[in-house]
Amino acid sequence: MSTVISHSLFTDFDIDLFKAGKHYRLYEKLGAHLIELNGVKGVYFAVWAPSAHSVSVVGDFNFWKQGEHQLEVRWDSSGIWEGFIPNIEKGATYKYRIQSNNKGIVTEKADPFAFYCEQPPHTASVIWDLDYKWKDTKWMRSRQDHNGLDKPYSVYEVHLGSWKRHAEDNRFLTYLEFAEELVSYVKETGFTHVEFMPIMEYPYDPSWGYQLVGYFAPTSRFGEPQDFMVLVDKLHQAGIGVILDWVPSHFPDDAHGLGFFDGSNLFEHPDRKKGYHPDWKSLVFNYGRNEVRSFLISNALFWLQNYHADALRVDAVASMLYLDYSREEGEWEPNIYGGNENLDTISFLKEFNEAVYSNFDGVQTIAEESTSFPMVSRPTSVGGLGFGMKWMMGWMHDTLEYFKKDTVYRKYHQNDLTFSMTYTFSENFMLPLSHDEVVYGKKSIAGRMPGDEWQKFANLRLLYGYMFTHPGTKLLFMGCEFGQSAEWNFEGSLDWHLLQYPFHEGVKKLITDLNGLYKKQPALHEKQFSAEGFEWINYSDHQNAVMSFIRKGDKPKDDLIVVCNFTQIVRENYRIGLPRKGKLSEIFNSDAEIYGGSGITNYGKLGIDASPYDGRDYSIELQLPPLSVTVFKIS
């Protein structure tokens, strides 16, 4: 047996924190760390496996022989096995071979804390470091100015495996190629943030990254960890924030993953009613186990600390919150109060958010939560879950349902649009048109629009104009910004060739200008989560399918007037009430010819009449283009 030298990076205080579920930097202790001990270079290994009888490290450095390098278990009942193996270098591959106390079960597992993994379908962990010299100091010092809740927050959601591929052989781009092409494109189109669908290592491409095994390792599909750092660094240098999808809701049962790790239900809840997800056929974390909480919160902070992420979008929060989520009667048990809420999850999410916001300035957490669970984006100090924002799934569903209807029927369904304003300020809502809306037979966003080709694209421009003028932050899935015709295909590139056609190029130009409008006009972001930032002019003109409203900033001079015409009929001399006298100027029109529209517009500065209308003392007659959003400013 080769020598394993007794050594530990853990202090007694570390162990106490770990057992209490309060150690938020576990990645500095557990895992594989390149160190020098008594002048000898090698690797310190540490793994949590409390049900193990023995643990050995197997790898290419010992020809994968079991028992060659056996770790020692700590004396303090922490369940941590550790030791220093000399003369192992960066790039070596390894796993842990665990002989369990449980009926002689043997597992061979990848390192839960590995910084790098072999590219699937290979499953070993790779010895690596996180050395990198960041060049985004300017961004990091001022990112509160980009990430605050009163700032423009327009998100471009990206699946790296299918944003763009090499045309000749459908090969993935690398992180370094994305650092040139993606950064340039996002800067050109004006999005403030990029959201990456999960980039943590995952074994199965059709999961889109939502079934993780390497929680601390960016996927090796696109390059090395430092290459991903370059991508984040370049985005920051271009003034673009980075949001990472984070999946604490479930994990797959792959043989080398977290499931049944040491021959016991270590990471997953031992009760099948709480530890198995029927929809995704995956395992659910045991949120009531302190060591698991330390693992998950350490993981969240790891990406914020070591990869300079600006926000975490937490996936599938609804599935975590409810004991009966996707379960029939008899498949779940109520909590101690008789309710269906998962009290361990609620406690965990509050602790996670408190840890994030207390350890990092200028960051956000965003919940993908599809139910009416209260106070998701309210501080824990007032009883909320503590997220910064929450996806507005109701707005997404109702809006897309409305827009797919032929315009002749829209007058009967205007409540589908106006209903969102009855609850839009109950949370800090982000308006998402995400990847989930362009797969599984739902059609692309453009493909849902009714009418002939001209009307389809006019409707699409109207939808985006309405989205960007509605209160809340914005999220748009890749390809939607140029009117991708087909559903998203994760196995190939977006249909970039469509940009040679004027209608598609027009949509891209529209999105670019909407991003510019959102950033330039304070009324669209300063009070985007406050009822003080919105006021209806008229929401009841169902017959004409027209809505008008005011968006407000901190200063009255910044107020914007927004008018939406949801039919293809041009509304001549359409009168709306206004809050004050002055001149009205059109500053945005989704029907502009440059976008592929008909070019009907309101020219020059229009005089406001001292004629009462819509319950106001002043009013004006406008020309409303077909299927359009027009935005005006009073001077």
User: Can you give the CATH number for the domain in which 87 is found?
Assistant: 2.60.40.10
pLDDT at 343 over 70: yes
Q: Where among 126, 149, 167 does a domain terminate? A: 126
Residue 120 lies in a domain: yes
Residue at token pair 């914007």? 560
3-state secondary structure 454-513: HHHHHHHHHHHHHHHHCCCEEEEECCHHHCCCCCCCCCCCCCHHHHHCHHHHHHHHHHHH
Q: What angle do CA 610, 616, 620 make, to 5 degrees?
A: 50
Residue 212: inside a domain, yes or no? no
In tens, the pLDDT along 140-190 reads: 999 999 999 999 999 999 999 999 999 999 999 999 999 999 999 999 999
Q: Is 315 a catalytic residue?
A: yes
Domain endpoint, select from 93, 126, 159:
126
The confidence score (pLDDT) of residue 374 equals 96
Q: What angle do CA 375, 380, 381 make, to 5 degrees?
A: 115
Residue 133 lies in a domain: no
Q: Kindly tell me if the per-residue pLDDT of 2 is higher than 70.
A: no
Mean pLDDT computed over 369-386: 96
Q: What is the pLDDT of residue 1?
A: 45
Q: What are 203's two structure tokens? A: 């074994």
pLDDT in tens, 581-622: 999 999 999 999 999 999 999 999 999 999 999 999 999 999
Asked, for residue 310, whether it belongs to a domain, the answer is no
Report if residue 556 sits inside a domain. yes
Residue 427, CA distances (Å) to 148, 195, 315, 384, 431 in order:
15, 21, 17, 10, 12
| Helix ranges, 404-452 (H) | 415-418
- 262 catalytic per annotation: no
Reported pTM: 0.96
Write down the mean pLDDT value for the chain. 96
Distance of CA 17 to the CA centre of its chain: 29
Instruction: Quote the tokens at residue 42.
Output: 């090698």
Distance CA 125, CA 117 (A): 4
Q: What is the mean pLDDT of residues 119-134?
A: 97
What's the CA gap between 232 and 238, in Å, rounded? 10
Query: What is the residue range of 588's domain?
Result: 392-428+443-471+493-635
Q: State pLDDT tens for residues 198-228.
A: 999 999 999 999 999 999 999 999 999 999 9
Domain-located, residue 551: yes
User: What mean pLDDT is predicted for residues 570-577?
Assistant: 97
* 19 found inside a domain: yes
d(CA 593, CA 457): 12
Residue at a domain's end among 99, 126, 153: 126
Q: Which of 136, 227, 310, 368 is catalytic?
A: 368
Would you give the distance in Å from CA 350 to the centre of its chain?
A: 18
Q: What is the pLDDT of residues 494-519, one digit of tens each?
A: 999 999 999 999 999 999 999 999 99
End-to-end CA distance of the chain: 83
Which pLDDT value is given to residue 104? Answer: 82
pLDDT of amino acid 615: 94
AA identity, residue 75:
W
55-104 residue pLDDT tens: 999 999 999 998 899 999 999 999 999 999 999 999 999 999 999 998 88
Q: Is residue 201 part of a domain?
A: no
Who wins on pLDDT, 429 or 329?
A: 429
Q: What is the full DSSP assignment across 266-286?
A: SSB-SSHHHHEETTTTEE-B-
CATH number at residue 561: 2.60.40.1180
The number of domains in the chain is 2
